[in-house]
Amino acid sequence: MWSLARALLFMIPAEEAHGVGKVLMRMLARFIPAPRKIQNNPIGLAAGFDKNAELLDVLPKFGFGHVEIGTVTPRPQGGNPRPRLFRNAENKTLFNRMGFNNLGAGIVSGRVRRIRPKLPEGFKVGINLGKNKDTPDESAAEDYAAAARSFLDLADYFVINVSSPNTPGLRALQTPEALIPILNRVRSEIESTGRSIPVWVKLAPELTGTELQTLIEALDRGGASGFILTNTQGGVYIDEGKELTGGWSGQNLTTHSRQRLIEARSYTRLPLISVGGIMTPEEALERFRAGASEIQLYTGFVYGGPFLVRNILKAIRKQA
C-alpha cells in the first residue's frame, strides 16, 4: 500500500506532497490505536518534518518515542522562495532549502500547549531552536533564548540548531566562541524556572577531525547535554538550469552521518542522537552499535513509509 501511495505522492512537487502526506497520516491515524505509554523507545522524528506541531498528536501512533518540533524561531518566518524542496527518488534523497520557515514560537508553543496533555506518558517533545534570518550573529544568543522562553513549561529537551545550510552565515556559529554564549543564554532561561531541561547541540556533517573534536570537547565542558549528528549536507541542486544552494539528506548521507557519530563518540561520553541516512532497520542497528543513544528519522520515513519505525523497533527487540 505504501509503495502505491508513495508513487502517487511523488507525481506532485515535493513540498506539496509533504502537505498531502501529512493529511494522509492524520487520516490513517484514525485506524491506529494510541499507545497509553511509551517505554524504552529510542526512535524519534527529526526536526523539519513537523515544523509547526501539526502532527504532534498522531505521531505516537506511528511508533515514535519522541518528536523534534521546528526549527522554531522567535518571530514567524516565511523561509526561502519556492520551490525549495526536491527529491531524487532513484537515489532516495531529498534536497531542501527551506530557510527555517515556521509560524514562530508564540503560535507553535500554543499548539504544543493544547496537545501536550493528550500525549502518551513517556512521549518526549523536543524543540529545535533557531534564529531569525535578519538577526545579526552578534545577537544570535538572544534569539535562541527568546525562542526557548515560549516552551519552558512544555519542552522535554531543547536543541540549538546552528548547522542548517539554508540560513546564510548560520554555520559560522559552529565555534566554541559563538556557541558557548548561546548555550549559556538558553540554560539561563531554563534555570530561571527551576526546571531541568536538557540542551542538545545539532552539528553539520562537514565538521570532522580536529574541528569537530575541539567543538565537542568545549561544549561538553560548557554544559551541553548531548549532541545530534548530523544535519543535512550542504550542496547544490540544479532546477531548470538554475543552481540552488541547500542541504542533502537521505541515502547519500548514510556514511557521512555514521562516521560523524563514530568520531563524536570517541570525543565525549555525553548522549548522542544519530540522524541522517537511516533508511533501513539494519542501518538503525548499526547506529546503536556505533554509540548512538537514540536515532531520528526524516528522509528514511519519507521513503520507507509509516511502518519503518515499527520495523526498526522489531529489529531492536530481536537483537535484545
The residues carrying an active-site annotation are: 164
Q: How far is CA 283 from the centre of its chain?
A: 18
3 state SS of 60 = helix
* Residues 6 or more apart whose Cβ sits within 8 Å of residue 85: 13, 14, 15, 18, 94, 95, 96, 97, 98
Distance from C-alpha of 198 to C-alpha of 168, rounded to nearest angstrom: 27
In the block, cell 505504501 appears at 2
- What distance in Å separates the CA atoms of residue 112 and residue 57, rounded to the nearest whole number? 9
Rounded Cα gap, residues 69 and 159, in angstroms? 10
Task: Report yes or no: 293 and 270 within 8 Å, Cβ to Cβ.
Answer: no
Which among 272, 184, 178 is positioned nearest to 223, based on CA atoms? 184
DSSP summary character for residue 92: T
Structure-block grid coordinates of residue 120: 502518551
Q: 122, 64 in Cβ contact below 8 A? A: no
